[in-house]
Homo-oligomer: A and B are copies of this chain.
Amino acid sequence: MRIVDIKEMSVGISSSMRNAVIDFSEMTVSVVAMVSDAVVDGEPLVGYGFNSNGRYAPSEVIRRRLAPRVLAADPDELLDPAGLLEPAQVAAAAMRNEKPGGHGERAVAAGVLDMAAWDLRAKLENRPLWRTIADRVGNDDARPAVPVYAAGGYYHPRGGTSALVDELSGYLALGYTDVKMKIGGADLATDVARIEAVLAALPEGGTLAVDANGRFDLRRAVEVGGALESYDLRWYEEPCDPLDYAAMAALADVYEGPLATGENLLSSQDALNLLRHGGMRPGHDVLQMDPVLSYGLVDYLRTARHLTRHGWSLGDCWPHGGHQFNLHIAAGLGLGGIESYPGLFEPFGGFADDEPVHEGIVTVGDGPGIGFERAARLEPVLDKVRTS
């Protein structure tokens, strides 16, 4: 088989939400259709990919650099010995003539292509991607059931704390048990009141995590941590700049509760630096690197090896993102769980129509690939990209 075309389109995910750092009203997503010459039921097999929210569509990097290199590669170079598409080889071709370091838009672009390559690979094998992944890593215990938590709790332009409680209560009504809210976009007293209001609305056994989106300097992160410590939060996320490993290490020395970070580490090398220099505590803290923002599953498997060598369990990983690709990765590798954004970042956030949440668990639906075809909301945009 060979890849005959790679189509890309930038699509807006307009939203009125904002976190402590950015608003999402101008956010875009790159959508890719990787078209093969393999035919099933008279139709060519197509792999689809798109980037996680929070990073803008890296259209130019895909269109001018990465995709042309994949299409220019010797098709046999992209296959494994069995003649199936090998995503690691696709990544190697895409990254020719790129310097080391500088993990930004390029890491996202590579992640989008990686998602499409894995979707296509699993479709060629005619099985769900999580089984392909579990086989790849020899995970015999893999099961298609993935813990999820509902991320949201943004600063609503109107409605304040009661709108926040309504929003998060809505997630609980959908079947979630654990939720996450933003902090750092208001003064500490306001944030503490918001936290207390949400905790009062949580059912028994439900947990709350808080996310500062890298807003604080160390001094402020320690101060806020002191105010948070009595609330038994699930975790305190991204207090400081995501690349300030020393700040994280200093905070981990004084904050007893679990810390979380990783969504803005866009490569396995950055993840390794966090493990080496960030002072985080295996089995206690939480790692949230998002494969789709960081060169894809191909590079996330490198991160997984770093984790194991540094005493971490893959159960400590809860990737950022909230999309179906991470659902398969979590099931195949046995991650702790994944983030979910119920009703946000549509149509890209969320899972297939046959993948509802029940008591905080999503059961991965059956069918080949990642299963985007079983999400009705995605059909129009994927059709548009494929036929563009």
What residues of chain A have their CB less than 8 Å away from a CB belonging to chain B? 21-23, 26, 54-56, 58-61, 64-65, 96-108, 213-214, 241-246, 264-267, 269-270, 272-273, 276-277, 293
Q: Could you say which residues of chain B place their CB within 8 Å of the CB of A277?
A: 245-246, 273, 276-277
Give Cα A59–Cα B100 distance, bound, in whole angstroms. 20
Tell me if A's interface is mostly helix, strand, loop or mixed: loop
- Which residues does chain B contribute within 8 Å of A105, judged by CB atoms? 58, 61, 102, 104-106
Q: A99 and B266 in contact (CB under 8 A), knowing A104-B105, A106-B105?
A: no
User: Are B107 and A243 in touch, CB under 8 angstroms?
Assistant: no
Chain B residue nearest to A101 (CB atoms) is B264
Tell me the bound Cα distance from A93 to B276 in angstroms: 34
When C-beta atoms are compared, the residue in chain B nearest to A64 turns out to be B56
Collect the chain B residues with CB atoms within 8 Å of residue A273's CB: 243-246, 273, 277
Q: In the complex, which residues of chain B have a beta carbon less than 8 angstroms from the beta carbon of A100?
A: 21, 213-214, 241-243, 264
- 5 A-B pairs, CB-CB below 8 angstroms? A26-B97, A59-B60, A101-B243, A243-B267, A245-B277
Q: How far is the CB of A60 from chain B (nearest CB, A)?
A: 4
B22:A266 contact, CB within 8 angstroms: no
Q: Do B102 and A107 have beta carbons less than 8 Å apart?
A: yes
In-complex Cβ contact of A264 among B65, B102, B107 (8 A) = B102
Is B101 touching A241 in the complex (CB atoms < 8 A)? yes
Pair A269/B243 contact, Cβ less than 8 Å:
yes
A102 in contact with B55 (CB, 8 Å): yes
Chain B residues near A245: list those with CB within 8 A.
273, 276-277
| Smallest beta-carbon distance A339→chain B, Å | 15
Partner of A214 from the list B65, B101, B103 (CB cut-off 8 Å) is B101
CB distance from A249 to the nearest CB of B (A): 10
Q: In the complex, A54 Cα to B59 Cα: how many Å?
A: 20
Q: How far is the CA of A51 from the CA of B100 in the complex (A)?
A: 17
Residues of B with C-beta under 8 A to A64: 56
Give the contacting residue for A102; candidates B61, B65, B266; CB below 8 A: B266
- From A240, which residue of chain B is reached at the shortest CB distance? B100
